[in-house]
Each structure stands twice: as C-alpha cells, then as structure tokens.
Structure 1
Amino acid sequence: MSIIKSPPSPTHILGGARFTSLATPSRGSNETAIWQVEIEPGTPATPHSLSREEVFVVLDGKASVRIGGKAGIAAKGDAIVVPSDTEFELTNEGDDMLRLMCCFPVGGQARVGDKAFTPPWAE
C-alpha cells in the first residue's frame, strides 16, 4: 500500500490555472497520473489533443467543454471523458474557481499544434 501525501501548494502554475500533482511517476505512481487543476474565471482555453484518453471530474464550479467540435457544460460531480487524438478545450464557465480532478495514463502526451510533450504536472 502506498499513500502519497498531498503537496502543501500547487506544483505548477500556468496563466490562470494551478496544477497540483498528486499521484505521478515522480511522486510514486507507475501507471496512472492524477492531479487537481484549478482554473480562474476568464482564463482562456488552450486547444490541444492527447495521445491517450483523459478523464476529468468536476469538483467545484462549471466547465465549458468543447471536444471534437461538440460543446457542452459539465457541473460539480460530472465526469468529462476526452478521447485520444481529439482536439478539446476546457474553460471556467462560472464566476468562481473551477476545480477538477484529472486522470491520465502514465506515458501519455499532450499535443499543441505540432509539438508533443508530457505535461509537467503528469511527470
């Protein structure tokens, strides 16, 4: 059994988004990376795709989601499933902080334009 203690503060900050790595290879997981992301209201989305499926669970707030050109709203308790190789974007739909839990297979990569990389909060 492994218990990985939560870091005392976000581990990565990118614009109006704060990422907190919870279970990642650098923190002790082998197959699944899990992190929390907090997105400030008004933070613009970065359209991107992923080499593997990613699942988000909305913890607080409302997310405006566009996956493969289809739009929707996800609220507290909803799960968002992003298929691999499908462009998506996610923004904060409300006036309060949007908090999500994210699950992504270790080794998966994000793609923005022609650039593929492992998100640092998933390493």
Structure 2
Amino acid sequence: MPFIRSTEAQVHEIHGVRFHGYANPATGSKEICAWRGEIPAGTAGQAHTITKEEILYVLEGRLLFTLDGERAELRPGDVLLANPGSTLRVDNESGAPATIWTTTSIGLEAVMADGSRLAPPWAN
C-alpha cells in the first residue's frame, strides 16, 4: 500500500511517548521504517543501545539528545544521526510537547540499560 493516511498510522505508546508508525512491513515497506514520535513536555527518556542506524529529525519543540555521552539540544529542522551500537537517550525537558520523525532499517531493536531487548512494532 503506497499511500498511508495519517488516520491509518499504527499508534503505540511506550515510556510515555506515542509512536505513529507509517512505513514498516505491516504497511508494505520492504527495507525502511519511518514513524512520528510525540514526546510530551517533561518526559525523561530511556537510554538504549540501537542495533540499526537511526536518523531523527525534529519537527516541533526542543529535545535534548544524548548519544554515547555527548549531549545536544536540537530544534525544528535539526537532525541526529545515530549509528548502530550507539547508546541513545531523548529527553524533553521543556514545558512544551515535541515531535520527531525517525527512519531506520527494518529489524531495529533497542537494548535497554537492564539488558532487556525491545523490538518495537513500528520498526519490525
């Protein structure tokens, strides 16, 4: 299905963040996954190590990204490139919600700080 309306996105919520999955195997994608993440104001992120490259584009708001210990605040139009094996954390310390657009390869997993693995359905 080449056309996916916003009302057809698969919505999932984890760690206080809402993920709207657009491109993934369930919608017909063969290689790439893409989703929109809505991060409420004051949300503390969860550090996780990623198994696939991710590109995160800030659509709205201000987000604090920590990638392998390096921190940067990104605003609309800014991009984070996270390589496989990187440890990533996204925090919204502001008083307003923020939105990001993320792309990755099918099969992404997140290894959490406690060693557990998460295979998010919006990326598998």
Asked if these proteins are the same fold (TM beyond 0.5), I'd say: yes
CA distance in 2, matches of 1:115, 1:57: 26
> What secondary structure sits across from 1:11 in the alignment?
strand
* Aligned pairs for 1:24-43 within 5 A: 24-43=24-43
Count matched residues. Answer: 123
Please name the residue that 1:117 is paired with: 118
Unaligned runs of 5+ in 2: none
Please name the residue that 1:20 is paired with: 20
- Identity score, percent: 28
Are residues 1:56 and 2:56 paired? yes
CA distance in 1, matches of 2:8, 2:15: 20
Please name the residue that 1:94 is paired with: 94
In angstroms, what is the RMSD of aligned CA positions? 1.7
Unaligned runs of 5+ in 1: none
* Residue 5 of structure 1: how far off its partner (Å): 2.2
* Residue 8 of structure 1: how far off its partner (Å): 5.3
* Residue 93 of structure 1: how far off its partner (Å): 3.3
Q: Residue 102 of structure 2 aligns to which amino acid in structure 1?
A: C
Give the structure-2-normalised TM-score. 0.90
Alpha carbons of 1:32 and 1:10: their partners in 2 closer, same or farther (altered >3 Å)?
closer
Q: Residue 69 of structure 2 aligns to which amino acid in structure 1?
A: G
* Cα deviation 1:22-51 (Å, max 9, x = unaligned): 111111111000000000011111000111
